[in-house]
Structure 1
């Protein structure tokens, strides 16, 4: 009987514990709305109470499936931040909501900030009396989006007495983890320089943010604090300030659907998120005249014109231009109007291909993908396709085979278009494709500006690049009489054909060599050898053994000329490559903090200019010897294949292509950026400046 009584007593005690409002589990459990299963929420109290402030920590957990996302307190150009309305609650004053650092999303040109997957928001409940029964009645409104957006409500209902709660270790862990993800607020002590200042230029409609901390890798900067106003980043870069040392300066355009933004005298928040580091600043907006070092769009267009023109003499493009000129020479009776039409068609092909490239880049920007000049050469299928096309062009020009079927394909692939200009149009597009791995002087600056600019500037600069590259074609189209000054056709034309087809085959072999980063080289050697053998056999069969001897003779003469002009680079055999360290921004910061100088080389196997810089400058004394000194760390970023960290590094410097070289050191912790075409003097000067405060040997030591 006593046993039954004991069991009965324990049963009632357990039932009392379960049903007692003060001891109920302080959690709603997972709440799901049947109209939107991909999202669910849970509200939990940690069970902790602060009697001094009458506050209770809590969390709101959100779980989203797939690509669904919800939004930050300031969503950006779209979306709605989640909210909780506490109507009907008792013993509740207010609820303070803190927001973990958000991600940045971009879709169709709209920039938003929010969260994907699992997100936990830390909350603080302020109650009137921690000993009084409390009723929580809340409605969570959650906005979630993929390609569509859904607004969903969830009901919170909890009854408890705060000081009777028991600690929930899982909820406490979730709360502490969520708090650690909230950007830390930076406060300025009285008498110190402010950590951040903001100024509004009403004439430009722009906000300038100056942060006295430039030690960021690739930060995302978010401005909020003014309802109905959004701020979109225009430029973000470190700068030198006489008063405050290194600064990070951001320029933003302000937009409000109510009209002109009214932000003067108001306090705005600046949140900076960079990897695992996140800080939040606040400051009053003051009037300012923004004088950022922004390059004029007209000067960028001029640089693009010059860079596009220089592309014509790059080894990738020259064979195509030569083929076009040789086609005119081969047809001396061609009418001026026909010459004009053919060269205009090629120029239009160049223009169209640059516009297509700009459109493709714009599409990548709108979808938030990595962009850059020459990134298509990171794709083995594209490289293989280009190797095939250049080989077909070369052999077709030599007459190894004729493409007869289908007739449309014959017209498009023929190196001369006859009366049909579509083949000439495709020649222009083909030349542009071959130009993309080249980085001519002025080209990198113009492309970097274009890739970071608005849509109109992007197309304006790519149009200027196209016009610059098409300039030789346009000159002949404008003055077709220049064809009369070309030599009359003769046997020498065979030599010209062989020369340009040989250059195309060399381009093919170079493209095949790029596949070594994707395919075992054992498969590539037979392919390259087969192409070379076909060329030699055909030459011997069609032109006799003398043709082989002539080719070898021309090769020897050209090699001798090149060797004489570059004697300083080849007089000594190229030394062994440097002991490169993989590119890492954190490692750069550590090395500089230790007083060392870091030389960064971002390169790619498909980048011809990169190869020229390496052979002509980096592997030559005195630069080579200097880079081997103990206080200098050579660091390489290989962009041959897609690499998200290297792409982010380039974009953090407002660069979108290679080559890219930077020198860091105690004298230049933010780095000294070098031009696309290196010279010994520039590299030595940059290293000396960056090493200025190390007390180590300067650049003279490497001489």
Structure 2
């Protein structure tokens, strides 16, 4: 369905929902069959509205599977590509996304076929409305090439169907997960295949990272920074350099200090203090730059860290490798910066916790806790202290468990951060349904019977008088 049709459908549903709610408002509190039907229609239209709005959101990136050739030869590899057309201001992500999720494809091929990995073009730096770095990815028209190899026993004159499932994350001011089934049918021929000029030219326009053959790349790191020294082949100039890392220990959001002269350059990047640098770590990623003609290019970087300091020194030839400390920080300076950063994080965390107490979902609970404190006044101090420790331990352990789960998932290769579950369509839909049920309950559409509370409250009262249960309730 075209985007305009989806928008028209969502507008019609919204208008119908408003008219229906207006006619049903007076009947909401009347226990009749007619009002119940009205409520059910309201719920149904709300769900339909959510689906149409979801379709409008996913239309921001159009995805299709295309081939650079018009037929398949038995046993001969050929190139296909995932074509992604982004609407203005929308973007998707590179394989090391930063804040986001990379595009993925899962093939459903017949036996005997094999599929190569996505060949990622050189990404660009993605920034939010405030100009802050939000990740690495792509805008506009994007081709993600892959190589498919068919079996040698394909029958000439037949046709083959290639199917795949694609997942991606698209972002503008908000991020929306995308999902689509794509397919492509091509005839089988033993004759030399013709080339699709549109697809071939589209793939050729992608800036694919080149091999570092002929380049001199040297990496060095200390406690707080990583420095990359670059000498490009030839005498051409380098400009607009940026390094896109493949590992989490590079702080991708921090600005990179770049000094360049002719075909030489030095890049200084900050280490992420929340990540551990493995002992055998290498500097891996893509170095993007503009060449002498202003063409955006990329070169693959995969070098070990060398011993000794790399510094910016001046000479008649430009940048040289020296023994100075222009781009390195001493251990004391790095430790001081880390302590200052940790203190700032703790201060803002405390401020955020204080502000959180004023939230509508938290502030009423404070009164309940105050009543609990008053109820414990004059009781055994050891019992009061035990309840206080149980309450504090429950809060801390709950957050430690969440942090531990996140650390385990990230150690397993998942690119996750706080709030990553909100990038799951299933989780967001479930959350919307729960909030809708709350709203309908508070509006009087349905009530939870008092028999449930009559059965539960006595159990809670009995449990509160048992010491262990009381501690667990505070925990």
Q: TM-score range by the shorter chain?
A: 0.3 to 0.5
Where relative contact order (Cα < 8 A, 6+ residues apart) is larger, the structure is 2
**Could you tell me the TM-score, scaled by structure 1's length?**
0.32
TM-score by length of 2: 0.46
More helix by share: 1
Q: Which has the larger radius of gyration?
A: 1
